[in-house]
A = this chain, B = another copy of it.
Amino acid sequence: MDIKTLCLGMLSYGDACGYDIKKRFEALFRHFYSAGYGSIYPALAELTAAGLVTCRAVPQDGRPERKVYRITELGRRQFGDALATTQPQHKLRSEFLAMLYFAELMDTARLNDLLDDRLRQLREAEAHIAAIQQAWNDEVPVGARFVAGFGAVLARVAAEYIETHRHMLTNVPESTVADSPATERATPQHELIESRI
């Protein structure tokens, strides 16, 4: 399920230009999928070349013309196929967690900064999802409700985990905090760590 296919999916809910599609991505997909113009515009060009969408140019005064894309029957079929056969991936790449693994090597102030930053992001995500949910009416597709709920729950739980467990990282007895990196730590604990991982 690449960006090309997702653009097709977006267009199955209504005509749009590249700019619109980006906005749609940002509206609901933002928390689990991102796409920039550098991906979307080439994707639309390829979809057009493959006959999966059609493109009509709408001139505007004072602005560049809109290129409005519409999905074709072939495109609809192909998207249906993709939904029926693709096995979806779920990739997380969290430098945040990777860094916290090395919490010992950071001081308390730095750790607090990292945790507060992440908390802010999570709160913002919760607020954003809540805002779009409130603007919904009865006809919103179940899929949208499901993924929005999913995002909201995960963001809330992640924030709660940070709040209830941050003391593990920051309430460290003074002596344990690393301060003289060179002298004591140079050679001692090599080769004996496999058990800790």
Contact = CB atoms under 8 A, between A and B. Distances in A.
B121 A13 contact: no
B91 A98 contact: no
Contact of A84 (B34, B106, B142): B106
Interface residues of A, number: 87
A147 interface: yes
A143 B104 contact: yes
Nearest to A140: B196
A15 B95 contact: no
A170 to B, nearest CB: 10
B146 A182 contact: no
A195 interface: yes
A104 B141 contact: yes
Contacts of A182: 73, 76
A50 interface: no
A165 B146 contact: yes
Contacts of A121: 90
Contact of A98 (B12, B29, B132, B137): B29
A84 B135 CA distance: 41
Interface in A18-55: 24, 27-29, 31-34
14 contacts: A14-B189, A15-B190, A28-B101, A33-B98, A34-B93, A79-B102, A83-B106, A88-B99, A90-B97, A91-B94, A100-B146, A103-B146, A141-B196, A146-B169
A89 interface: yes
Of A77, A102, A168, which is in contact with the most chain B CB atoms at under 10 Å from its CB? Answer: A102
Contacts of A103: 141-143, 146
Contact of A9 (B24, B102, B114, B154): B102
